[in-house]
Chains A and B, each alone.
Chain A
């Protein structure tokens, strides 16, 4: 409370006249709106880059035989596609949304640590410059998969130290961003806004931030051990020196599993904002939703070895990880039921944010079902490392996390720009995206069940039909995203004036400020009942 007032008192006077213009603005701004915009633009660029890599992959997989790339380049494409999408597209997008919306939703003037906020962004930018520069290094980018398993990853060439360093920088950026989120939410909520009155998007990010702080250092530790094995003759992952390659898998997945929840929890938060607005009633079971997110986050720490069921794990371990993984379905199901109950006896309209949120509801659930199947160890012995896994995680990440982010953009874009966007274009974008995402990924379930392993550039002829269909879906999906880019550019440039509330039934403090949101908002903390 007093901190927020302190923030207001300190030095806003000097900003009003002297806001830097032009390029310098983006290197010196500490404004959460500017920084949020930078993260979002960055993530869109990375989404397109990662998308082009995916199209290269699907183009090669369009038909059996190798037509376009050689096997090493294919492995490099799959590795970079994942690294770019996970760390360059999804995570920065959710961070951008956090930056823009958390202060607005809790009635704070800015994030608690604005300079660290700016530093986090530019650190990420440099990290990706470094990672993408591996495309130009001799030997090319890393090709061991985003999971970087040794000993294979230790066969990498000059890209290896660049990739590891990029990961360290990106991890530092995420940790600092997470600290910022926690300090902001804990300290700067408007008077009267207790934690259990806070919007669910903020809850989702509060918990995500704790996950980030807990596991990013573990990832950093793991890749540092890879670095020392590579350069300094340590043997963490080398049996010859008394180590074990499987140790890396444990360390990686201890990070990796919470990481995927780091990617999806903000999307859960977004859906919890969008569905009530377009159902014109508050979220059903607010407290249950908070407990559900907290349970999911807790459980995410004790399931990591479900990525490793074929390494030769003791029976007790297999049972434990199988059961704990299945258990995550319970709080996740609670959330899905609560979202449905929010719609129940509501008054529902189908604007673009709601379309994406509803598509999320259906398609993320499909991803959840395949996840449940993967949790059963005997069955997983057939699914592991096949396209069934690829289908599962793309369903939870694309119609899951990405649709959540798209819903958020469509929801808050008028607030950011002050203009309503072209609704017709948005709906075209939605339908093409929603249809093609299924054409792209649903057949991959069949491919996995039929026996096609993952991470292969060429396949036996019986897999040809489904691969062709999937590739058609990929191109359709990819081209549809161009509509989205065009829509955003158009909206930023102009359009019908947006009111403060924008939507028919807005809820939350962000809708009490004008559209576009003024550069400085809530300089005086609002009263929140």
Chain B
């Protein structure tokens, strides 16, 4: 079974994000970039499917600038077999990404498409669902467990108030949630081996998709700074503050 995994290059989760002085965008100068954490989980799940003998080939795809190859190489080091970079410098919106991925799905014909439920840069949580709509494939979002059973995949989803398991006919789309697995580190011997794995580059034009943003970014501002707390000397003052200043009582 072939598994397609989509990964995105985003600002590193650990980086304290700063806004440009002119409020035009987030400042990405000299900022560490890394694979989106939910995508790491998707890669890990694909590798586990391969280790279990369920997946036979893992194809990893990323969309973005040439440097996004780094994240594809990471996925190859983690166990993916080959990579595809759809190279573009344009800003991408979920619908465009879904259209591009649809192009790859049509070409590669994977049985499972694994992807993060959202990326931590724009937090849209839309691409998997849109890809489902565009391809007509069933979708299991917010996965905390993925079990392939013959020509079906059972996906346990994290929903408000509990878990819901859905059985999807293959081919299907699965978007990953945090508790699905704990991704491994890329081992150095595997990083060396990954250098020899194939990585093809294509363009949105090759896939017949026009990358055009319909949104314009007006202004980016950091969240308001929280002011320091105060100490009160008695319960009476506390109650008074809660009533009259905080107005929560």
**A and B, one complex?**
no
